[in-house]
Amino acid sequence: MANIMIRQADGGGLTFYLPKRDLEAPISSIEFDTPEKWGGELKLDNGGAYYIDPIARPPRLPVSLRARRLGAAED
């Protein structure tokens, strides 16, 4: 589990940030992005994938969350 931060990117879309490794990457897809459910599997455009527990409604961004890495460490 790692602490991550998700923030609104300047050009729309979301940015993923992992402070521990100073990894900043645009999020290419998010599993659930509806007013009722938000979160799930995050796919990053650098090939990595992380999982955050879905929450009831989209949070106010930026937000710090706990995430689990899916698959091997990228880079």
Partner 1 sequence: MTTLSRAETEALIAEVLEVYPEKARKDRAKHLTANDPGIEQSKKCITSNRKSLPGVMTIRGCAYAGSKGVVWGPIKDMIHISHGPVGCGQYSRAGRRNYYVGTTGVDAFGTMNFTSDFQEKDIVFGGDKKLAKLLDEVEQLFPLHRGISVQSECPIGLIGDDIESVSKKGAAAIGKPIVPVRCEGFRGVSQSLGHHIANDAIRDWVLDKRDGSPDTSTPYDVAIIGDYNIGGDAWATRILLEEMGLRVVAQWSGDGTLAEMMNTPKVKLNLLHCYRSMNYISRHMEEKYGIPWMEYNFFGPTKIVESLRRIAAFFDDQVKEKTEAVIARYQPMMDAIVARYKPRLQGKKVMLYVGGLRPRHVIGAYEDLGMEVIGTGYEFGHNDDYDRTTKEMGDATLIYDDATGFELEEFVKKLKPDLVGSGIKEKYIFQKMGIPLRQMHSWDYSGPYHGYDGFAIFARDMDIALSSPVWGKLVPPWKKTVAEEEVKEAA
By beta-carbon proximity to partner 1, the closer residue of 25 and 55 is 25
Q: How many residues are there in the chain? A: 75
Query: Is the Cβ of residue 24 or residue 31 nearer to partner 1 in the bound state?
Result: 24
Between the alpha carbon of residue 54 and those of residues 11, 18, 36, 58, 59, the distances in Å are: 25, 18, 10, 9, 11
- Where along the sequence are the contacts to partner 1 (CB under 8 A)? 5, 7, 17, 19, 22-25, 45-46, 60, 62-64, 75
55 versus 63: smaller Cβ distance to partner 1 = 63
